[in-house]
Amino acid sequence: MKTFLTISIFCLTLAYGFSQTLDLKKASPFTAVTWTDDDQPKVQVDNEWYILKKLDGHTAEKIITFCKKEYGTKWKKRFSEDLIEVLQAMGTPPQKHVDLVLLKDHQLITKTGTYSFENRQKLYDFNQQITKKVKYISTSEALADIEQFETIIEEQSSYIHLSGFDYEASLSSLKLEIQQSTDSLDINYLTHELAMIMAKIGDRHSSVKNEWVTQEGHPSYSLELPFTIAPLNGKVAALTSSNHEHHYAFLHPKYPYIKSINNVPIHNLIDSLAYKSRTAPKEAKLSRGVSSLQQLGKLYFNNNLDIPENINITFTNGKIDSAANISLTKERSGYRSKIDQQMYYNSLEVDKGNFQNLARILPGNIGYFSFPRMYSFDEEKGLEAFLDSTFINFKSSKALVIDLRFNPGGSRDLIQKFASHIIPKAQSPWVANIAYLRTNQRQADYPSMHARFLYPYISKPFNSADRKAIDHFLKDFDPEREFDTSKFSTAHFMILHAGDKPYPKNIYILVNEHSFSAASVFTSVFKGLPNVNIVGVTTDGSSGNSRKMYLKNSNIRVKISTMLSFQRNGTTLDGHGTAPDIYISEDETQVLTGIDTQLQKLLEIINHQ
């Protein structure tokens, strides 16, 4: 009897576990998923919306990277609707309950989620409903949305007051074109037309997006060039993968560069079609433009153009040309720098709480920090203590290198932390940045600015020494363009201070055209200090304080930056970036083999001083 009871319990346990496994094949801890402008998942849990940062042992970034690699253009659908299958493919099948790290209003929240079929069904229905809703709207609805878009620009945009772009004329032309069209309008068409207008304003934290874009009826959307292209020496090189990982070779060694596509000069094509990077600094514009050209089908789709049936490429060595007709492919062959890939691997270790790859001693006793992104100390517990202890170990080093290449930005915590080690006492307090918020309430208190360590002159965080430093700074500060200050807050300042024992040797901040947002701010705020050299190429700039709104009829998401952010020299971060003191660009060896010649050349400079 006892044996029979034991067997029965065992069988019931197997049956229960088996049924749980079957249920989990189609289950989700979320009831809806949408996406931010930079493709972060925005999830609905308990009827509240959050940015998903971590799910059990995985960061959202890690799961997304896997989905993009495995599922191509369907990666968002697989992430939202087939999360169980995704996690199983990653080798980590989930349990019924899941630990979620969520972000809301700049605060991290930890919740326990539950996988259920009901949640997944609600998510699926949500996707279906939205997809059906946003395909087409009437002409009158489109015109109303354009009016709303114009109001948003006039009342919310900051950079519209600095650009000479006549957005009113562009919107009038678009209205006239729509009025002469049919009774209904494709949402994707309206999205891209508004996006092109927004891009000309010059603020690269602003954007226009159809979050439920569908490629149905657009079979060319996923078509790409059948070879790899990459920026090199200010040109566009045509490459092919070699037998070594992250190694490339010229597709046509005698004609290594692309001169034109369908007789349109390559730089003209980038300037006319890659509108999202049109106002970026020169190096960033080329690099981002090349990435857009790689996905040629998507680029034409985003410009409301039909892709040509025949693609003719003219290759060149600068003197002699060679032309060839090509066929586009759905195979993905975009360029990926070996240095960028290593940064990604390092970021995965940071997600696990391992910080060792962020710092080391280089040959010649040179201290070296490398940050894949601008980390928040609230999110990465233990990182601050690690940095403090590392600085103690680096005190006797010959010099210090801070590598921010391929860093897309994030939090500004690292700026404050490094300021205490970088800024000499003779330069403290250091006025690092000045910014204005688009608002009619000039004296109000703005938490969104505080999160960026920006405060007005009379603010409590500032003491008399800080205000004296501001007074001295403002005597020579000359913004590049005048603007109507009545439409903005009073000036907000970032003030940085030296610590008890600043690092005593020279510091080199190594950047490239992929150093963006907070990484570019980091570069900018320390430029001009006597012990700091900026090395590499001009950063991608940009510093925004964005708000998101949705157009009433089309549900198109409009992201608008409400902050003007000036560097110490009076130029905005957007459109300019921060120029290096020591120019070192990627050379052919680095592009083709991944050998870090930029860092090697910097070390030679340091060791010869």
Measured between alpha carbons, how far is 158 from 163 in angstroms, rounded to an integer?
Answer: 10
Predicted confidence (pLDDT) at residue 170 exceeds the cutoff of 80: yes
Phi, psi at 568, each rounded to 5°: -60, -30
Measured between alpha carbons, how far is 6 from 432 in angstroms, rounded to an integer?
Answer: 72
| pLDDT for position 68 | 82
Question: Which ranges constitute the DSSP H helices of 157-256?
Answer: 167-179, 187-199
Q: What percent of the chain has pLDDT over 90?
A: 61
Predicted confidence (pLDDT) at residue 325 exceeds the cutoff of 90: yes
Q: What six digits make up the tokens of 4?
A: 């029979």
Q: What pLDDT band is residue 2 in, cutting at 50, 70 and 90? A: very low
Predicted confidence (pLDDT) at residue 20 exceeds the cutoff of 70: no
Measured from the Cβ of residue 146, the count of other Cβ atoms closer than 10 Å reads: 21
Predicted confidence (pLDDT) at residue 12 exceeds the cutoff of 50: no
Predicted confidence (pLDDT) at residue 19 exceeds the cutoff of 50: no
Q: What six digits make up the tokens of 452?
A: 């960026």
Query: Residue written as tokens 């007709």?
Result: 325
Average confidence score pLDDT of the chain: 89
| pLDDT for position 180 | 86
Per DSSP bridges, beta strands 492-496 and 507-511 are unpaired
| pLDDT for position 10 | 35
Measured between alpha carbons, how far is 416 from 433 in angstroms, rounded to an integer?
Answer: 13
The answer to whether the CB of 417 falls within 8 A of the CB of 551 is: no
Predicted confidence (pLDDT) at residue 16 exceeds the cutoff of 60: no
| Residues 58, 416, 418: CA angle, nearest 5 degrees | 90
Residue-wise over 103-116: b if at least 16 C-beta within 10 A, else e?
A: beeeeeeeeebebb
Mean pLDDT value across residues 268-293: 94
- In 3D space, the residue among 524, 91, 516 whose CA is nearest the CA of residue 340 turns out to be 516
Residue 275, classed as helix, strand or coil, is helix
Contacts of 68 (CB under 8 A, 6+ apart): 75
Query: Residue written as tokens 């020496």?
Result: 233
Predicted confidence (pLDDT) at residue 28 exceeds the cutoff of 60: yes
The answer to whether the CB of 541 falls within 8 A of the CB of 186 is: no
The DSSP letter of residue 399 is: E
| pLDDT for position 11 | 41
Predicted confidence (pLDDT) at residue 215 exceeds the cutoff of 70: no
What is the torsion angle, in degrees rounded to the nearest 10, for the CA atoms of residue 469, residue 473, residue 475 and residue 477?
-160
| pLDDT one-digit tens code per residue, 394-419 | 999 999 999 999 999 999 999 999 99
The answer to whether the CB of 415 falls within 8 A of the CB of 521 is: yes
Predicted confidence (pLDDT) at residue 7 exceeds the cutoff of 80: no
- In 3D space, the residue among 444, 438, 439 whose CA is nearest the CA of residue 456 turns out to be 444
Mean pLDDT value across residues 216-233: 88
Q: What six digits make up the tokens of 446?
A: 């703005």
Handedness of CA 417, 421, 423, 425 (dihedral sign): positive
Query: Residue written as tokens 């395909």?
Result: 135
Contacts of 38 (CB under 8 A, 6+ apart): 408
Per DSSP bridges, beta strands 430-437 and 492-496 are antiparallel
Predicted confidence (pLDDT) at residue 512 exceeds the cutoff of 70: yes
Q: What pLDDT band is residue 131 in, cutting at 50, 70 and 90? A: low
Tell me how long the chain is. Answer: 609
Mean pLDDT value across residues 498-525: 95
